[in-house]
Amino acid sequence: MHDVRHNQQESRFEVVAGDDVAHTDYEREGNTLTMVHTEVPESMENRGIASALVRTALDYAESEKLTVVPRCSYVRAYIERHPERQRLLAPTAS
């Protein structure tokens, strides 16, 4: 399990390991969470961190009753692999 924290000031979810930070960034406008970018440093790759970041962000969206616009290609692919998350998509994101 990864320690994912919600950094609201930076509008992102992140995992910190030493000096490295993996993150998925979002923009929130009203009841819409637009997922714009996911980045995992090479030193943190292949450990499921990107999935943990996106899963936590989508859990947050669901708990806050937000719809999601997946502009980030990784988030789009994650939602395609997890069809149970498609109910979170904003009507314009389908």
**Residue 55, C-beta contacts closer than 8 angstroms, at least 6 positions apart:** 78
**Over the chain, what is the mean pLDDT?**
94
Nearest Cα to Cα of residue 91 among 55, 67, 71? 67
- pLDDT one-digit tens code per residue, 64-85: 999 999 999 999 999 999 999 9
Q: Domain range for residue 45?
A: 5-93
The CATH number for 12's domain is: 3.40.630.30
The residues pairing with 68 across neighbouring beta strands, listed in sequence order, are: 33, 89
The number of domains in the chain is 1
Confidence of residue 1 (pLDDT cuts 50, 70, 90): low
Position 29 scores a pLDDT of 95
